[in-house]
Amino acid sequence: MSYQPGRQFLNIPGPTNIPERVLRAIAAPVLDHRGPEFAQLATEVLARIKPIFKTTQPVLIFPASGTGAWESALVNTLSPGDTVLGFDSGQFALLWTQMAKKLGLQVQTIATDWRRAPDPVAIEAALAEDREKKIKAVLLVHNETANGCMMRVAEIRQAIDRVGHPALLLVDTISSLGSADFRMDEWGVDVSIGGSQKGLMLPAGLAFCAVSPKAVAASKHAKLPRAFWDWEPLVANTGGNFPYTPACNLFFGLREALNLIDAEGLENVFARHARHAEATRRAIRGWGLEIVCAEPKDYSRSITAAFMPEGYSADGFRKLVLERFNMPLGGGLGRLSDKAFRIGHLGDTNDLMLGGALFGVEMGLGAAKIPHKAGGVQEALNYLADQSGGAARLAAE
């Protein structure tokens, strides 16, 4: 078909659906990025983004994807030959360590089977063995988009503190920011990395680094080359002036996205994402499929990955669902390639949208003749209806 009526059901783990109000805000006339109106907008946004990270520290914004913020975090805090503790626990954790190696850093790696988040006990043991304190930073991906496993950052911070290790704690929140609870200051995170295209409900194009005083102090002595990614002019930016042309219209969109988050309430946003994650898991179990993340304590709030039955192609299934129902699903990445598919349930999503997405998956399983049990959608809908009823009862009381 050359035309499929209706709107595409976008259910990848990002970029996510963009609310109409945000799209209209982005469509505002271009401003002079050196003029007073943009300076006022930027100053407002720089202040209002802090509560999303739950920090009082500076949040630096680059015109880039989250990958740029990865690089910025590394080059501003580390020197050639420094050792970092990284993880082979998912595609994005692995890619960050590969970037570190390309920048001239030594990487000590803790591996998992990609079905579990790294164990805080293993991290504590690795740091305890580092008696010479060669490890200068720990690179965590809060929510691993490839497999739907979420790191327990607070527990890892406690593990670092128990052994008294001075390593910086760098955390990628790209697919958790605005979707799952993250507490930069309370959890002692030194650099928090974010991107605009997931929980913040924007197009890709804004990269965030929230930086602690310890990280800023490290940047004064770090020797890795940096120019565009340099924090210094941004930390000093108190008047909405940037050392490059900022992505001006995305700032309009970010302000509107923050308005929407404030209107719903950040904790309510987290609760909605947790509810949708649980509903999705119930659907997957109802179909008789296996969730990639093997530990309930590691379950993601924003994306769930499911294995295809042995001998069936996850990519072939996704292709059929896209062609038949105009619904993109996330593919398996790295060692999960063609073995798993991913359902994104983050950003501007409600119960009906999630129900429609799960219905599309169930229809696709049938159309592709993939062995499964019927009723996964009903399991999810029963859960959502029960949760909605409980909320209504509480409101009435």
Query: Tell me: the pLDDT tens digits for 124-139?
Result: 999 999 999 999 999 9
* Whether residue 272 is found in the same domain as residue 350: yes
Both 164 and 278 in one domain: the answer is no
Report the number of distinct structural domains present in the chain: 2
What are the strands, taking DSSP E only, across the chain? Answer: 59-62, 83-88, 106-111, 135-141, 143-144, 149-150, 168-172, 191-195, 207-211, 290-291, 303-307, 330-331, 340-344
- Kindly tell me if the per-residue pLDDT of 1 is higher than 60: no
**326 in a structural domain:** yes
| Chain segment 71-98, per-residue pLDDT in tens | 999 999 999 999 999 999 999 999 999 9
pLDDT at 397: 41
pLDDT band at 301, cuts 50/70/90? very high
What residue has token string 């296996």?
290
What percent of the chain is modeled with pLDDT above 70?
Answer: 97
Task: Tell which of 230, 262, 294 closes a domain.
Answer: 262
Task: Give 221's contacts (C-beta < 8 A, 6+ positions apart).
Answer: 79
Q: Which domain holds residue 244?
A: 20-262
Mean of the pLDDT values across residues 20-38? 95
Tens-place pLDDT, residues 211-224: 999 999 999 999 99
Lateral strand order in the sheet of 191-195: 59-62, 207-211, 191-195, 168-172, 135-141, 83-88, 106-111
The arithmetic mean of pLDDT across residues 321-339, rounded, is: 97
Co-location of 279 and 341 in the same domain: yes
Quick one: 197 and 279 in the same domain?
Answer: no
254 and 345 share one domain: no
Residue 188 near residue 140 (C-beta atoms within 8 A): no
Of 156, 176, 181, nearest to 168 (Cα)? 156
Q: Which of 232, 262, 292 is the last residue of a domain?
A: 262
CA 300 to mean position of chain CA atoms: 10
Q: 219 with 299, same domain?
A: no
Query: pLDDT digits over 141-199, tens only?
Result: 999 999 999 999 999 999 999 999 999 999 999 999 999 999 999 999 999 999 999 99
Residue 3 lies in a domain: no
Task: Indicate the pTM of the whole model.
Answer: 0.95
CA distance 225 to 228: 10
pLDDT tens-place string over residues 224-241: 999 999 999 999 877 778
From 237, 262, 287, give the residue that closes a domain: 262
Which residues contact residue 53 at a Cβ distance below 8 angstroms, ignoring those fewer than 6 apart?
59, 173, 177, 182, 184, 192, 194, 208, 210
CATH number where 355 lies: 3.90.1150.10
Extended strands (E) in 64-105: 83-88
CB-CB neighbours of 188 under 10 Å: 17
**Averaged pLDDT for residues 38-48:** 95
Residue 119: φ, ψ to 5°: -80, 125
For residue 182, the one-letter residue type is: F
* Residue 1 within any structural domain of the chain: no
Instruction: Kindly state whether residues 232 and 299 are assigned to the same domain.
Output: no
Per-residue pLDDT averaged across 360-364, rounded? 98
pLDDT in tens, 268-287: 999 999 999 999 999 999 99
C-alpha–C-alpha distance, residues 277 and 13, integer Å: 12
SS3 239: coil
- Across the chain, mean pLDDT equals 95
The one-letter amino acid at 39: A
